[in-house]
Amino acid sequence: MGRLERPLAPDAGPVTAFARELRRLRTAAGSPGYRDMATRAMFSASVLSDAAAGYRLPTLQVALAFAEACGGDRASWERRWHEAARADGDDAGARPAVKAVQQHQENELRAADVRAVLPPPSQLPMEAHPLVGRRELLQRARALTAPSYDGQRLAAPLVISGQVGAGKTAFALRLAHELAVNLPDGQLYANLDPAADGRKDAAGIAGGFLEALGIPTDRIPNDPGQRIGLYRSLLNRRRLLVVLDGVQHERQIRELLVAAPESRVIITSRSRLLGLDGIGRIRLPALDRDESMELLAQLLGGDRVGSEPRACLRLADACGDLPLALNLAGRRIAARPEWMLQDSVSELLGEGPDGRAPGRFLARLQIGDDALSTRLDSAYRLLTPWARLMLRQFAGSDNPPSVDNVVYESADALAMLVERSAQPVEDLLERLLDAGLLDHSDLPGQYGLTPMARAYALTQPDPTEEDPAPAAAPGRTPARQPR
């Protein structure tokens, strides 16, 4: 039973008379609530209530929707509306104030039509294969994306960072598919890698998301600030999941972030995005060796891996236990099931009489349009000449690989190698870390260079020959060439 309405004006004008007829129809239908009527009429409850208020004549579309929601005959009510409009002197054209209201109501109709036709957005890409390992990190990510029980803490956006090939997107999608179960208003996804998505700035991303949420194009503000504000408002009022994949830098998404009561935001980036405040962070390391073997068993079959474990261990060692390298290598080997696993691994690693050729192995880590070298290229191109030189010096250092085939160095040791002071060298190493080409060590001040990134760096031309600026830095001794 709907609540009592305000009395109609005492005059007997055509607008008041039409509103009175609408009220009688609603009463005859059992006085349904306006919210229930809105579900059937595809107009908001406020628009329907306003139609029967008697202040102005509703649009024909609103009047017919009101009548049909109460079981009225469409043709009969269309005739009544035209009679009321003629009596009110408004059949051919409404007064300016009425026109504005009618335009608002028609906009409501278009938005409702879009909501009826378009389901909630479900933009998450599929998971290529079950996630291997990461159980503790997933548990931590769930905790970071859950609000407090007392409602005092909202769920902050979560940044998932890591080096090139660490499996950031796969981890984010596993988490996102879990969270989506409790977020029925939809899932929004944007790949912000420069080669993947044309809408790189915050306003462009917000505009695409608003369209996906069913906002008519003519109601999306042209002003970037207003558009982003509308997007944040929707995020605050709905139960949405947003995944921003492959973020390059903080300014790309800063304005899009909000700690909403019900929505969740997941971000992946090679960078730690330390310029963002008030967010949660998780950094993905490489897999441990058991997890690498589990991933290869998924790709090659448990029996095949179990029969030749040494070949798989060699492959995992060469890949530095990076999920992407293991995935590409495993799929390439799986395409030749008739080969012995040992022969497939030797061929892929480029092993010959003179030993292993890391550069050749890296070049072979390609399946279709996906290649590890392409990912490394995209990270390397964003480096300054000084950072490129530091990466090359790191790769050419005399430090032997550790048991996990990763080369570790400290900022102080590299500063001595390139004959620079420690602070600027450490700053360059931090840039390489945020570029996804280095990783942290468990020891303070130590940085790790994986075999894949090391092989890539050693195949790149000398940065001092590309740009003489590093060798001509004022007040510095020229860096020694890598050995």
Taking the C-alpha atoms of 388, 391, 397 and 402 in order, what is their torsion angle to the nearest 10 degrees?
Answer: -170
How far is Cα 190 from Cα 192, in angstroms, rounded to an integer? 6
How far apart CA 45 and CA 31 sit, in angstroms, is 14
Q: What DSSP assignment string belongs to 315-374?
A: HHHHTTT-HHHHHHHHHHHHT-TTS-HHHHHHHHHT-BTTB--HHHHHHH-EETTEEHHH
Q: Given this model, what pLDDT does residue 42 score?
A: 67
Contacts with 399 (C-beta within 8 Å, 6 or more apart), sequence order: 407, 408, 409, 413
Which residue in 260, 273, 288 sits closest to 433, CA to CA? 273
Q: Compute mean pLDDT per 10 residues along the chain, 483 residues long, and list them.
A: 62 82 89 81 77 84 87 88 80 45 48 54 85 90 78 81 94 94 91 69 91 85 90 87 94 89 92 93 93 93 90 92 93 91 88 64 89 92 91 82 75 83 89 91 82 89 62 41 39
Residue 218: predicted pLDDT: 81
* Cα distance between residue 308 and residue 348, in whole Å: 16
Per-residue pLDDT, 357: 62
**pTM tops 0.75:** no
Pairing of strands 407-410, 446-449: antiparallel
291: phi then psi, degrees, rounded to nearest 5:
-70, -35
Q: CB neighbours (10 Å) of residue 124?
A: 17
Q: What per-residue confidence (pLDDT) applies to 118?
A: 58
How many residues can be counted in the chain?
483
Residue among 476, 465, 461 nearest 428 (CA): 476
pLDDT at residue 473 in the model: 43
**For residue 60, what pLDDT is reported?**
84
Per-residue tokens: 14 = 């055509």
Distance CA 168, CA 422 (A): 31
